């Protein structure tokens, strides 16, 4: 069966004649744009496949081994997602002034028995609520911390408290965006940071 184009009678035309209704012209530019869009998809698809899915953050438990500062001082760290910032037990904390700047001298105690004496610029002081309902003023310094393969330089307040079960507390400032925390488990990682590389912010 042969199909014929639809015809419309023009009232102003000569009787007995027919007029084919006009059809919108094909937009050549639109066809080119669509072709280019498909070409981009075809070219970018292999790159997306090659990149693969993003690597998931490592999982840590509520207790993990850590390395503190470039002195490579090992410590057991408690992971605390309820704490805004990180804390570390320090001894003999003293604030000194050198060339018009304030520094903090303090001693850390590693799990390997070493007790290095450190000096770091004083960043600020912070007020921390203690277990007895009172408050403590603690100096804050920047320290490099390493858990697993993640090394970060973060603000750490120096706690002069002997009752800590774990000398290092990792707060959200260190954990955010870098780990998945499983509070039912512990000791899931081993420090393996490359000390030659700069720590992430």
pLDDT tens-digit readout, 174-184:
999 999 999 99
Task: Output the six-digit token pair for 79.
Answer: 């992971």
Q: What is the DSSP letter of 85?
A: S
Pairing of strands 150-159, 73-79: unpaired
Q: What contacts 178, CB < 8 A, 6 or more positions away?
A: 57, 58, 150, 152, 200
Q: What contacts 4, CB < 8 A, 6 or more positions away?
A: none
Task: Tell me which CATH code domain 59-181 carries.
Answer: 2.40.70.10
pLDDT tens-digit readout, 74-125:
999 999 999 999 999 999 999 999 999 999 999 999 999 999 999 999 999 9
Radius of gyration of the chain (CA): 34
Q: Check: CB of residue 88 under 8 Å from CB of residue 156.
A: yes
| 34/186 Cα distance (integer angstroms) | 54
Q: Where are the domains of the chain?
A: 59-181
Mean pLDDT of 144-164: 90
Model pLDDT, residue 46: 43
């Amino acid at each position: 069966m042969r199909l014929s184009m639809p015809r419309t009678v023009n009232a102003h035309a000569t009787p007995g004649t027919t007029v084919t209704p006009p059809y919108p012209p094909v937009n050549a530019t639109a066809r080119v744009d669509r072709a280019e869009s498909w070409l981009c998809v075809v070219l970018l698809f292999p790159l997306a496949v090659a990149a693969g899915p993003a690597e998931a953050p490592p999982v840590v438990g509520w207790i993990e081994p850590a390395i503190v500062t470039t002195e490579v001082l090992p410590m057991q760290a408690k992971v605390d997602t309820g704490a805004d910032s990180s804390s570390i037990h320090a001894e003999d904390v003293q604030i000194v002034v050198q060339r018009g700047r304030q520094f903090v001298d303090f001693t850390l105690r590693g799990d390997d028995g070493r007790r290095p004496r450190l000096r770091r610029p004083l960043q600020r002081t912070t007020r921390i609520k203690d277990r007895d309902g009172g408050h403590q003023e603690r100096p804050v310094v920047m320290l490099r911390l390493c858990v697993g393969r993640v090394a970060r330089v973060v603000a750490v307040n120096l706690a002069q408290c002997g009752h800590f079960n774990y000398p290092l507390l990792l707060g959200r400032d260190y954990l955010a965006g870098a780990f998945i925390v499983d509070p039912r488990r512990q000791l899931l990682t081993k420090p393996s940071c490359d000390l030659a590389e700069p720590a992430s912010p």
